[in-house]
Amino acid sequence: MKLTLTTNRLLAIYLLILLMANVYLTSFYEFWGLLANILAQLVLALGLWRLFAGSRQEPTSYLSRFVFLQLVTCVKVGLWSLLLVVPGVIKSLDYSLAPYLLMDRSDSGSRKLLAESQQLAKGHRWQICGYRLTCSFKIAGLQLAMLLLGYPIFLAPLRQPGVAGASLTPLLCFMLLATVVTSPLMVASYRSYQEKMIALYRQAVQA
């Protein structure tokens, strides 16, 4: 029961932060909205790991190391991408198992985790790529559907001169509605992705 309560609390925090991000993104503070979105994704990722992998420690105990690992990963992938796009994509796939290694080997450094992830990911790159594309297409499809449904009602009036300020409240209502409707579906898509990635990680470790 404690596990369920912890996960529900983390999902509630995720929804709250995501709502705050949407509010910021509709104002002049787009940068803070982007940071809030990143934080929401971190909370969701750690909460889902807690749910599916059965980690004994609280997800928040890994937060700082998880953030640092993600920053190191982004820097290394970015440097590889400066050469060509393809090496950057390959390195992104190679490093995708590092967060799972962090949960199992919390005493290891980021460099060691990334090196081990690269070894484990060999032979599984196409699977990882397929999982990522499937999850991305699902989430992109949800967002596109909400945009197409909400544009005639909430977004089209913003294009009319002199009504942008008056239309801000309906726009915020639309962002709230979009968050409430799409977030559970996005969580379900991300949950499916995490289940497949965790199964692949365990398979690679046991091989």
Same domain, 78 and 170: yes
- pLDDT, one tens digit per residue, over 16-32 is 555 555 544 444 445 55
pTM exceeding the 0.75 threshold for the entire prediction: no
For residues 63 and 31, state if they share a domain: no
The CA distance from 187 to 45, in Å, is 10
67-101 tens-digit pLDDT:
788 788 888 888 888 888 888 889 989 998 888 88
Question: Cβ distance 50 to 104 under 8 Å?
Answer: no
User: Are 11 and 21 in the same domain?
Assistant: yes
End-to-end CA gap in the chain:
33
The full length of the chain comes to 207
Angle (CA) 191-54-1 rounded to 5° is 90
Q: Say what the pLDDT of residue 130 is.
A: 92
Do 141 and 88 sit in the same domain of this protein? yes
Joined tokens for residue 98: 């590092």
What is the per-residue pLDDT for 3? 38
Same domain for 92 and 75, yes or no, is: yes
The full 3-state SS of 108-132, as one line of letters, equals CCHHHHHHHHHHHHCCCHHHHHHHH
Q: Are residues 83 and 44 in the same domain?
A: no
Mark whether 5 and 92 lie in a shared domain: no
Question: What total number of domains does the chain contain?
Answer: 2
Q: Tell me, what's the pLDDT at 155?
A: 59
Mean pLDDT of the 130-137 span: 87
pLDDT of residue 170 exceeding 80, the answer is no
Check residues 161 and 149 and name the one with the higher pLDDT: 149
Q: Residue 157 gets which letter from DSSP?
A: G
Map tokens 């289940």 to a residue.
Answer: 195
Domain span including residue 73: 56-206
Within its chain, how far is the Cα of 196 from the centroid? 15
Looking at the predicted structure, is the pLDDT value of residue 1 above 50?
Answer: no
pLDDT at site 94: 92
